[in-house]
Amino acid sequence: MNKESDVQIKYKNEINYLIKKLDTCNSKLIIYGFNDLGYFIYQTFKNRVIDIVDKEKQSEIIDNISIKSIENFDYNPNDIFVITAINNIANKEIRKTIISKFSDEAKIFSINDYYFDKTDNMARYCPICETHSNYFKSFGFVPRNDALCPNCGSLERHRLSWLFLKDKLRKEDIKDKRMLHIAPEKIFMEKFTNLFKENYLTADLYDKNAKIKMDITNIEYPKESFNYIYCSHVLEHIQDDKKAMRELNRVLKKDGWAILLVPIMTKGPTEEDHLINTPTERMKHYGHPDHVRNYGCDYKERLEESGWEVEVIYAEDFLTPKEIELMGITKAAGEIYFCTKKR
């Protein structure tokens, strides 16, 4: 089966929706991104395509059209940009590039309009496995609706974290950089392995699938061993969480960063009582049989007391409302605690 047929099958709904939109107007078209989808759109509307924009393929010639980069492009406001990047982050960046260069009056259609044009009963999109579904499943000891991707099993916090991590790492030179992943989630392991290769280390005190056994209150690695650390929903299980915070800080390089996530369960200060020490009592007080505290609004201060500089990043800081809805990033996703060593 050739690539064009693969594309038509995989993105049948998206392509049909975009074609219907393009058929409602007679404007000339500028294809932004000459990937397999771009090639298919070009073949479908060849008589209306007047330009192709693709920085990596600039100067290549398709029929009589010379592919350009956006920096060397003159735009007629009567024409329509057609963005063919299916990835939401890339799609959003291209849209921002067009608007910043040609103002928000630029006409833009996108292969993702199939999802973003809908306002009722929106389909769901998981940015981790990059699949669409009609809904996310419920999940949790107290079930949360619209939480779990039926394809890869990602939860709200995973999808939020991956969107941030993917964009952050894309902008950095990660060659020869080392990443420590505490209590590794299976949905991330393959992705981080592809990014960091042999420099990716998974660690857990109990999980035999992790590469090494590690007690994060006593990490047996020298100081400044890692460039990046990802530790999500672990500290609420550890009695001496501040010692763990200090240890993670110790093994991070001076110019590195860490993402240290916990569930924030109360608007007040952190609630903990070491006399609450049975699964039944912990479930009653903390909502989970293995949690030893409910973190509150002072979590950032606890990190700062342990040697961290902390930036709290919310979904709304880098995602649009429609993206948040589409990817099921509800309040249960929490915030991203982006941590660096104090200077």
Strands 144-148, 137-139: pairing kind = antiparallel
CB atoms within 10 A of CB 250: 15
- The pLDDT of residue 103 is 82
| Owner of token pair 């039944």 | 280
| Strand-strand pairing, 226-232 and 212-213 | unpaired
| Secondary structure in 3-state letters for the chain | CCHHHHHHHHCHHHHHHHHHHHHCCCCCEEEECCCHHHHHHHHHCCCCEEEEECHHHCCCEECCEECECHHHCCCCCCCEEEECCCCHHHHHHHHHHHHHHHCCCCEEEECCHHHHCCCCCCCEEECCCCEEECCCEEECCCCEEEEECCCCCCCHHHHHHHHHHHHHHHCCCCCCCCEEEECCCHHHHHHHHHHHHHHEEEEECCCCCCCEECCCCCCCCCCCCEEEEEEECCHHHCCCHHHHHHHHHHHEEEEEEEEEECCECCCCCCECCCCCCCHHHHHHHHCCCCCCCEECCCHHHHHHHCCEEEEEECHHHCCCHHHHHHCCCCHHHCCEEEEEECC
Write out the H or E segment, with its range, that includes residue 51.
Answer: strand 49-53
Residues 332, 209: Cα–Cα separation, whole Å: 27
Res 343: pLDDT: 83
Instruction: At 229, give phi and psi (nearest 5°).
Output: -135, 135
Share of the chain above pLDDT 70, in %: 96
The one-letter amino acid code at 287 reads: G
pLDDT digits (tens, 9 = 90+) for 54-102: 988 999 999 989 999 998 888 888 899 999 987 767 787 888 889 888 8
AA letter at 191: K
| pLDDT value, residue 115 | 67
Name residues of the chain where pLDDT drops below 50.
1, 3, 119-121
Q: Are strands 65-66 and 80-83 parallel, antiparallel or unpaired?
A: unpaired
pLDDT digits (tens, 9 = 90+) for 17-43: 888 889 888 899 999 999 888 998 999
Sheet hosting strand 49-53, strand order edge to edge: 49-53, 29-32, 80-83, 107-110
